[in-house]
Amino acid sequence: MKGLNNMAGAAGKLQWTRKDLLGLEHLSKEEIELILYTAASFKEVTTRRIKKVPALRGKTVVNLFYEPSTRTRTSFELAAKRLSADVVNIEIEASSVKKGETLIDTGRNIEALKIDIIVVRHNCSGAPNILARSVKSSVVNAGDGWHEHPTQALLDMFTLKSKLGRIEGQNVSIIGDIAHSRVARSNIWGLTKLGAKVTVCAPKMLIPEGIEKMGVKVTSDIKEALTGADAINVLRMQFERDTGGAFPTRMEYFKQYGITKEKLAGCKPDIVVMHPGPINRGIEMSSDVADGKNSVILEQVTNGIAVRMAVLYLVGLVKEGAR
């Protein structure tokens, strides 16, 4: 945790002034560092016997999920509860959307219930931004379409930082379905702002056009992505979305791009292997890698709570002027 604590100087002077966390694209390097620094403090809270602090006592958080999610919603729920906030979960499939209510109307109704923070996941890119403009409550993006998933990228960076000491100058390869991945997009924004050298690697069909404009190296050669990498972030193949025609079969994908012990043999011995979960074993990654010594996949899950506590704390207690 050393790397996280020694930036007290820089982060200590910065004030958080945003009512919402919608993505990493518009955050400054310093704001990202403040979130990571704050998360390091919350990580300690999660190791206490009583894993709960009174910081958001009396505040209410709504998890508004238009897409099924177990891990992200649970992580946000635990984060809010460990800050002593009250939490309400709204799964929208079973709700008014079926009756034709618009997102903005839903938001205003939630606001009328005196909710302080809305954590929203939506299948449409930009939905959290629309919601944030329509309500005074804080809005936290828990993943929107193919756009951004900022807290996932923040917890990936937090994990990297605690493993490698710093992010600046590290070679990080993001491997898998880049085209449909909000996790990739948020990671690219965040990592490049913090000075990492980012490579994205996927079959050509899964690389969106123009991605190199985000400041990343692009390759379809897995060897190139692995050689010299300090860390890899292996994305989930999203079969529930349309990946039609991107590659012939799942077996073929695993053969070419699946991370195996053999493929890692030529890499840096302490390469950090990340995956946002849930893993398709035997497709993106073999079991011996997922469960191996380089894997930090379960640490990512633990760190996710600390990072989300930090985000809820920062937006939940932002000063009135920002609302």
Partner 1 sequence: MKFKEKAKVLDELAVDKTLERIAHEVIEKNPSGKGTVIVGIKSRGAYLGERLADKIKAISGSRPLVGALDITLYRDDLSGATEQPVVHATEIDFDIDGKRIILVDDVLFTGRTIRCALDALVDFGRPAEIQLAVLVDRGHRELPIRADYVGKNIPTSTGETVDVRLKEVEGTDEVIICERVK
**Terminus-to-terminus CA distance in the chain, angstroms?**
33
Q: Which of residues 66-105 bind partner 1 (CB under 8 A)?
A: 83
Q: Which of residues 26-55 bind partner 1 (CB under 8 A)?
A: 34, 37-38, 40-45, 48-50, 52-55
Residue 10 interacting with partner 1 (CB under 8 A): no
CA distances from 105 to 88, 100, 155, 210 (A): 18, 10, 31, 35
Q: How far is the CB of 321 from partner 1 (least distance, A)?
A: 11
The residue range among 131-139, 236-244, 256-264, 314-322 that interacts with partner 1, by the rule CB under 8 A, is: 314-322
Residue 179 interacting with partner 1 (CB under 8 A): no
The residue range among 65-73, 177-185, 189-197, 309-317 that interacts with partner 1, by the rule CB under 8 A, is: 309-317
Residue 247 interacting with partner 1 (CB under 8 A): no
Residue 7 interacting with partner 1 (CB under 8 A): no
Nearer to partner 1, 6 or 256 (CB): 6
CA distances from 62 to 10, 74, 91, 117, 139 (A): 32, 12, 10, 6, 10
Q: How far is the CB of 4 from partner 1 (least distance, A)?
A: 8
Q: How many CB atoms lie within 10 A of CB 36?
A: 26
Nearer to partner 1, 16 or 76 (CB): 16
Token pair belonging to 218: 């692009």
Surface-to-core class of residue 227, CB atoms within 10 Å of its CB (0-12 exposed, 13-18 middle, 19+ buried): middle
Token pair belonging to 109: 């109704």
Each residue 136-175 as x (binds partner 1 by CB under 8 A) or -, in order, gives ----------------------------------------
Contact 242, 205 (CB under 8 A): no
Q: How far is the CB of 315 from partner 1 (least distance, A)?
A: 10
The DSSP symbol for 295 reads B
What is the C-alpha to C-alpha distance for residues 257 and 231, in angstroms, rounded to an integer?
16
Q: What is the total count of residues that contact partner 1 (CB under 8 A)? A: 32
Q: How far is the CB of 144 from partner 1 (least distance, A)?
A: 26
The amino acid at residue 207 is I
- Tokens 């946002």 belong to which residue? 276
Contact 157, 166 (CB under 8 A): no
Question: 3-state class of 211 per DSSP?
Answer: helix
Nearer to partner 1, 30 or 101 (CB): 30
In the complex, the residues that contact partner 1 under the rule CB under 8 A are 1, 5, 8, 11-12, 14-16, 34, 37-38, 40-45, 48-50, 52-55, 58, 83, 310, 313-314, 317-319
